[in-house]
Structure 1
Amino acid sequence: MSKVQILSYAGCSTCKRALKWLGERGIDVAVRPIVDEPPTAAELARWVPASGLSVRRWLNTSGQSYRALGKARVDAASDDDVVRWLTEDGKLVKRPVLVKGNRVLVGFREDDYAALFG
């Protein structure tokens, strides 16, 4: 089985909780710093459908990057615009992003992680 990849931000408390959860279960993860290496357009083309979420649900709406764009601008943007923004600014991405094979989880909900690894 390939290693689980998690896109994470070191200053994110939710990312820390997810990494702690994974570590407590001995799950081998490759951590990718989301700010330094945001998802690419090709990755998003695969991951967004695999997550079962719309691309707009990938936005970190509580972060400074989102506030800088402004809700009105985001609401008026096309999905292609949103994808481009996500590839340009890792802090705009809701995190953590966990990739396990063809399964993708956005954010950390313990029940979802338990179902994926259970």
Structure 2
Amino acid sequence: MSTTIYGIKNCDTIKKALKWLDNNNIKYRFHDYRVDGLDEQLLTQLCQFADPQQMLNKRSTSFRALSDEQKATLDNESLKVLFLETPTLIKRPLLVKDTESHLGFKPEQYQTFFKL
């Protein structure tokens, strides 16, 4: 079983998710978009697990910084371009385990996801 969690290390939600994984003895690899990068190939893989519309973090300061015109024209292709330019627009964390994925963090959802 291979588990990877995607996000940025200074995100409070990421910190909570990583702590939960550690406390439940779940082995994982952490991929920090800022340190490890986000390229088109990785984004294409991630979009196989989650729809770009669902991946969009509308609560982020990055989203609020978008112009009204950009917000009005957010189709999947334009989102992918924006994600590559500004990975903080991606909802965090994105957890991928084998062929399954989960967006966001809530302890009870992780409990179900990992069947604990």
Normalising by the residue count of structure 2, what TM-score does the alignment of the two structures yield? 0.83
Equivalent residue for 2:95?
98
CA RMSD of aligned residues (A): 1.9
Shift in Å at residue 37 of structure 1?
Answer: 3.6
1:56 Cα shift?
Answer: 1.8
The C-alpha deviation readout for 1:29-61, integer Å capped at 9, x for no partner, is 11111233454433443433433xx31221121
Give the 3-state SS of the residue equivalent to 1:69 in structure 2: coil
Structure 1 unmatched ranges of 5 or more: none
In the alignment, which residue of structure 2 is the partner of 1:18?
17
Q: Give runs of ≥4 in structure 1 deviating > 4 Å.
A: none
Q: What amino acid is aligned across from residue 47 of structure 2 in structure 1?
A: V
> Percent identity among equivalent residues?
27
Query: Residues 37-89 of structure 1, C-alpha deviation per residue, up to 9 Å, x if partnerless?
Result: 454433443433433xx312211212221112134422223310101111221
CA distance in 1, matches of 2:33, 2:15: 13
- 2:108 is aligned, of 107, 111, 114, to 111
Aligned partner letter, 2:67 = G
Q: Which amino acid aligns with 1:99?
A: V
2:76 is aligned to 79
Partner in structure 1 of residue 53 of structure 2 = 56
- In 2: Cα distance, 1:100 partner to 1:38 partner: 20
Structure 2: where are the runs of 5+ without partners? Answer: none
Moved more, 54-63 or 40-49: 40-49
CA–CA separation in structure 1 for the residues paired with 2:54 and 2:7: 17
Identify the residue that residue 9 of structure 1 maps to in structure 2.
Answer: 8
Name whichever of 23-32 and 87-96 sits farther off.
87-96
